[in-house]
Structure 1
Amino acid sequence: MPGLRPSVRDHDEKELVVEDSVESLGFGFVDLPPTKFAPVVIKTVKKDSWAADAGILAGSELLELNGQEVGRMSADDFRAALKQRPLRVKLAPPMAEAWKQVANFQQQVVALSLQKVHLQQALKDESDRVKRELGICTAMEKSNSLQNKAQRIKDLAVRDQERRDMESQLASLQAQLDTKTAEVETLQQSLEAERARGAEAAALRAELEALKANGSQSGEDANFSRREEDLEEERVQLQEMKATLDADSKALQLAKKQNASERSELEVLRTQLEAKSSAQDEREAVLERGAGAT
Structure 2
Amino acid sequence: MPIRIPDQLPAQNVLLGENIFTMDMDRAASQEIRPLEVGILNLMPNKIETEVQLLRLLSNTPLQINVDFIRIDNQAPKHTPQSHMDAFYHDFSSIANKKYDGLIVTGAPLAMLDYEEVKYWDTMTTILEWAQRHVNSTLYLCWAAHAAMYHFYGVTRKLRENKFSGVFSHRVNDPNNELLRGFDPVFYAPHSRYGHIDTSLYNKADGLQVVAESDDVGAYIVASHDKRMVFVTGHPEYDPDTLKDEYFRDLQSGQQPAIPKNYFTNDDPTQSPIVQWRSHGSLLFTNWLNYYVYQTTPYDLNQLAEKPQPKR
With the shorter chain as reference, the TM-score category is: under 0.3
**Bigger fraction of residues in strand:** 2
Asked which structure has the greater CA Rg, the reply is 1
Larger RCO of the pair (alpha carbons < 8 Å, separation 6+): 2
TM-score after normalising by structure 2: 0.17
